[in-house]
């Protein structure tokens, strides 16, 4: 191969190298900023791209992914003159590669310094207690201010978080004592509330017990009264039934006596008794009447005449029975 052949081969290789260098492959979620002769030409999106050799140049490769930057602690002073250190974490994303490239020389330094100044301004309006209890409010304020200011740089601040808030050592000790005192106070309050509830429950239990005992006694008295009432009713019914039975017995006895008398009179009449028999029957009736409780007796004149006769009959009857003994 002669010199001409080597020159042609070298030329081909140089052209191939130049062509290869003019091919640019842009990864996913990236944008390449291209300048032509020192002037912004375009933004290259994802995929293979072809540049003009010796004229076009990629000046910056910008990532469109969300990024996290942890800044070092910053000293801030609260409204009540307490110095503390706060370190922040910023979440941001590039939304405009051109403004990100040409808007500011060092975006990270700008965001860090702007975050520090904004944080000092916000904390300077708050007291220590508010600073410790208002993280969400501080985060939202810083995020809104940073997002508005960095928009001209093609940066979108998604959120800002206060990672650590470190007050001075003496403040920490004071806060620990305060927290301990607060915990002890809450413990005492809880104990007092527990004792109060316990006493209330005991009192309510005693009250319920007394009520139940009173109700039981009342029901017992009612049952006893009802039992006594039923017993009295039963006794009264028994006495009434007894009197009714006695009266019915007396009535039946009287009826039987009357019936017997009537029968005896009837039989006496049927037998056609003599005057002496009638007088004797009258005398027997008089003897039965004399056996009662009467203190005075009026003897009819008809009976007085036969008194001696009756005595004689009685003596004769006794003398007639004595030999048989």
- Phi then psi for residue 40, to 5 deg, are -60, 130
Cβ–Cβ < 8 Å for 303, 289: no
- The H helix count followed by the E strand count for the chain is 9, 9
Percent of the chain with pLDDT over 90: 18
Beta-bridged to residue 85, according to DSSP, are 75, 166
- Gap between the Cα atoms of 4 and 57, Å rounded: 33
Give the three-class secondary structure for 277: helix
Long-range contacts (CB closer than 8 Å, 24 or more residues apart) made by 277-285: 279/303, 279/306, 280/306, 280/310, 283/307, 283/310
Predicted pLDDT of residue 303: 52
Q: What angle do CA 300, 302, 307 make, to 5 degrees?
A: 95
- Own/partner contacts of 117-126, CB < 8 Å, gap of 24 or more, are 118/142, 118/145, 118/146, 119/74, 119/76, 119/86, 119/88, 120/74, 120/76, 120/77, 123/76, 123/77, 123/78, 123/84, 123/86, 124/76, 124/77, 124/78, 124/79, 125/79, 126/78, 126/79
Please give the residue that has the higher pLDDT: either 229 or 313. Answer: 229
Give per-residue pLDDT as tens, 48-93.
888 888 888 889 999 999 999 998 888 888 888 888 888 899 999 9
CA–CA gap between residue 30 and residue 97 (Å, rounded) = 9
Nearest to 84 by CA among 92, 72, 96, 76: 76
Residue 25: phi and psi, rounded to 5, are -110, 115
pLDDT at 325: 34
d(CA 82, CA 232): 94
Selection from 178, 73, 74 nearest residue 124 by Cα = 74
pLDDT at 146 over 50: yes
Per-residue pLDDT tens for 99-117? 999 988 888 899 999 999 9
Q: Which fold has domain 67-167?
A: Tetrahydropterin Synthase; Chain A (3.30.479)
**Averaged pLDDT score across all residues of the chain:** 81
Q: How confident is the model at residue 18 (pLDDT cuts 50, 70, 90)?
A: confident
* pLDDT (0 to 100) of residue 94: 93
Question: What are the domain boundaries of the chain?
Answer: 3-63, 67-167, 274-314
Number of neighbouring beta carbons within 10 Å of residue 69: 14
CA distance linking residue 135 with residue 127, whole number of Å: 13
CA distance 19 to 51: 9
The confidence band for 269, taking pLDDT boundaries of 50, 70 and 90, is low
Backbone angles phi, psi at 27, to 5 degrees: -65, 170
On the question of pLDDT at 317 being above 60, the answer is: no
Q: Residue 165: which H helix or E strand, with range?
A: strand 155-166
Is pTM beyond 0.75? Reply is no
The predicted pLDDT at position 89 comes to: 93
Of residues 138, 123, 139, the one with CA closest to residue 81: 123
Q: CA-to-CA distance for 131 and 144, rounded, in angstroms? A: 18
Residues 6+ apart with CB under 8 A from 21: 53
């Amino acid at each position: 191969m002669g010199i001409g052949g080597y020159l042609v081969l070298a030329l081909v290789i140089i052209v191939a190298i130049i062509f290869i260098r003019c091919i640019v492959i842009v990864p996913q979620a990236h944008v390449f900023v291209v300048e032509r002769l020192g002037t912004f030409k375009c933004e290259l999106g994802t995929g293979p791209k072809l540049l003009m050799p010796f004229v076009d140049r990629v000046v910056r490769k910008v990532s469109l992914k969300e990024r996290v930057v942890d800044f070092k602690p910053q000293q801030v002073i609260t409204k009540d003159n307490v110095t503390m250190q706060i370190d922040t974490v910023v979440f941001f994303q590039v939304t405009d590669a051109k403004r990100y490239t040409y808007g500011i020389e060092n975006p990270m330094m700008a965001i860090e310094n702007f975050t520090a100044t904004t944080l000092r301004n916000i904390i300077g309006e708050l007291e220590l207690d508010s600073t410790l209890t208002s993280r969400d409010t501080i985060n939202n304020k810083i995020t809104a201010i940073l997002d508005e200011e960095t928009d001209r740089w093609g940066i979108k601040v998604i959120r800002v978080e206060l990672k650590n808030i470190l007050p001075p050592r003496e403040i920490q000790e004071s806060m620990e004592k305060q927290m301990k005192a607060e915990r002890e106070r809450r413990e005492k309050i809880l104990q007092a509330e527990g004792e109060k509830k316990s006493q209330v429950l005991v009192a309510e239990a005693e009250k319920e017990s007394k009520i139940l005992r009173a109700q039981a006694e009342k029901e017992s008295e009612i049952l006893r009264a009802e039992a006594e009432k039923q017993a009295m009713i039963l006794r009264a019914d028994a006495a009434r039934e007894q009197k009714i039975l006695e009266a019915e017995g007396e009535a039946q006895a009287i009826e039987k006596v009357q019936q017997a008398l009537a029968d005896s009179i009837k039989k006496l009449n049927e037998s056609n008794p003599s005057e002496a028999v009638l007088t004797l029957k009258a005398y027997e009736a008089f003897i039965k009447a004399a056996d009662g409780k009467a203190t005075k007796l009026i003897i009819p004149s008809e009976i007085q005449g036969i008194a001696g006769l009756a005595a004689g009959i009685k003596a004769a009857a006794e003398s007639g029975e004595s030999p048989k003994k």
